[in-house]
């Protein structure tokens, strides 16, 4: 699921195409913005894409429509790849521990929509990205993987975002492959990656 640029979506596609994620099969993309560039990426790679406008519809009704689409496409795992809308408890419950999100900070620091700006304002010396399972709260579910980057002098939101994005594109497909190959186990909020 995506709302914008779709670079993480593209990173997953490319990783699958390179044979690095043999247990991942991309069933379909769902977008909530008609101008999302992710739609163009889906077209380019011939991936089914559904648009559901989210501005004039309740959260629950939006989520019900998404569930219909996911069921029709037999989706087992959902990836929020820059999907900028909070999902309802109904949706989270239905796909419990089967929704992945990528967030551009080292959670639990700097959750929310302005992670880069918040890290810079705070004066953090390190930031990074986090792939986590989605629970009922924002950016708070069990952490699967993280990568860190250094924040240097004169760092800007753009330069920080670019550095972090490089790691996002590696981490998200890797975490997805681990989930799809049943290598991730969960006890409370402790995630263990099982070896081969
Ligand atoms: C990424 O920085 C991701 O961490 C955040 O939203 C951004 C999406 O970028 N959740 P893209 O649409 O994948 O290019």
SS3 at position 58: coil
pLDDT confidence of residue 196: 77
**Is-catalytic flag, 103?**
yes
Q: Pocket of ligand 1, candidates 104, 111, 146, 164: which has the most ligand atoms within 8 Å of its Cβ, to mutate?
A: 104
Would you tell me the crossing angle of helices 7-17 and 37-44 to the nearest 10 degrees?
Answer: 20
Q: Which of 27, 74, 40, 70 is nearest to 52 (CA)?
A: 70
For 66-105, what is each residue's pLDDT tens digit? 999 999 999 999 999 999 999 999 999 999 999 999 999 9
Task: Tell me how far the alpha carbon of residue 29 lies from the centroid of ligand 1, in angstroms.
Answer: 15
For 97-138, what is each residue's pLDDT tens digit? 999 999 999 999 999 999 999 999 999 999 999 999 999 999
DSSP H/E element including 105 = none
- Answer whether residue 8 shows pLDDT above 90: yes
Task: Tell me how far the alpha carbon of residue 194 lies from the centroid of ligand 1, in angstroms.
Answer: 27
């Amino acid at each position: 699921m995506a709302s914008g640029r779709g670079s993480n979506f593209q990173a997953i596609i490319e990783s699958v195409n390179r044979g690095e994620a043999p247990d991942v099969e991309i069933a379909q993309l769902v977008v909530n913005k008609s101008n999302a560039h992710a739609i163009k990426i889906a077209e380019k790679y011939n991936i089914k894409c559904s648009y559901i406008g989210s501005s004039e519809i309740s959260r629950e009704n939006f989520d019900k429509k998404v569930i219909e689409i996911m069921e029709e496409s037999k989706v087992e795992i959902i990836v929020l790849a820059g999907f900028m809308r909070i999902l309802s408890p109904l949706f989270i419950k239905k796909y419990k521990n089967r929704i992945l999100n990528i967030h551009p900070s080292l959670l639990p620091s700097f959750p929310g929509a302005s992670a880069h700006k918040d890290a810079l304002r705070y004066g953090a010396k390190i930031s990074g990205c986090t792939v986590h399972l989605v629970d009922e709260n924002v950016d708070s579910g069990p952490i699967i993987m993280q990568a860190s980057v250094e924040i240097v002098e004169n760092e800007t939101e753009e330069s920080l975002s670019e550095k972090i994005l490089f790691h996002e594109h590696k981490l998200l497909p890797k975490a997805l492959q681990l989930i799809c190959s049943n290598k991730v186990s969960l006890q409370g909020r402790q995630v263990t990656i099982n070896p081969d």
